[in-house]
Amino acid sequence: MLSKRVIPCLDVRNGRLTKGVKFVGNEDIGDPVESARRYYEEGADEIVFYDITASAEARGIFLDVVERVAEQIFIPFSVGGGISSVADMRAVLLAGAEKVSINSAAVKDPHLISQGADAFGSQAVVVGMDVLAVPVSPEIPSGYEIVIHGGRKRMGLDAIAWARRCQELGAGELCVNSIDADGTKDGYELKLTRAIADAVSLPVIASGGAGEPRHMLEAVTTGGASAALIASIVHYGQYSIRQCKEYMAAHGAKMRLTW
């Protein structure tokens, strides 16, 4: 059995670390490079960076931040936001990232997934899914709809159907973020996470809502996720990466403990 992963998520806006609730009210909370170094030293398994306004503002990727991070940490990290072509993927990987995360661009052009997988291998392509709970309908039979552009645009696309399509196109991993739970610290949307995990054979990262280590344990057990993405609880010093991983290991989850 593979170890479960704890992955800090660093949302970046204008080169600074930021955090909001349900994708709004973002505030500046520090330097993403310094934070990445601290989480690496605390035992994070991977780190994710998102340029949260790059797609909506139709601008390029923050390669300077990627290069600075690559000099400071020695664990895998992925980068998302503003990646809309194979050339963008190549630039991010050459800057030092191990994976690229595509979201809005993949929904608009699904073949970007297969193009990236063909060029760099499926293991380098993560598809991020921002998901909103909606009434069940013929169009959205699961009750979960894909939204893009940082939660700004609903797509009329069922999340379960999209997850399966991503796998068919060659994605190596899915990061499933519940907009309803994002930043609330009330726990992950376990029903959503489990539904995606059961629908595909890919590793699924649970994202949105972690408030304590118990929530992370629930994500990788009840939710069926391979990894738990966290932000607020470590950004604001409520818990350390080590505390989270030790709690999960003590309650039966297989974890990589490096201390």
Active site residues: 11, 130
Radius of gyration of the chain, Cα coordinates, nearest whole angstrom = 17
Q: Distances in Å between the alpha carbon of 252 and those of 43, 105, 120, 186, 233?
A: 18, 38, 35, 22, 21
Backbone φ and ψ for 101, nearest 5 degrees, come out as -115, 120
Query: What is the 8-class DSSP label of residue 4?
Result: B
How far, in Å, CA of 70 to CA of 67, rounded?
Answer: 5
- How far from the centroid of its chain's Cα atoms is residue 35's Cα? 17
3-state secondary structure of 158: strand
Alpha helices in the chain (DSSP H): 32-42, 63-72, 86-94, 104-108, 111-120, 159-169, 190-199, 213-220, 232-235, 241-250
Q: Is residue 171 within 8 Å of residue 117, measured between CB atoms? A: yes
- Unique residue bearing structure tokens 């800057």: 95
Q: Is residue 206 within 8 Å of residue 226, measured between CB atoms? A: no
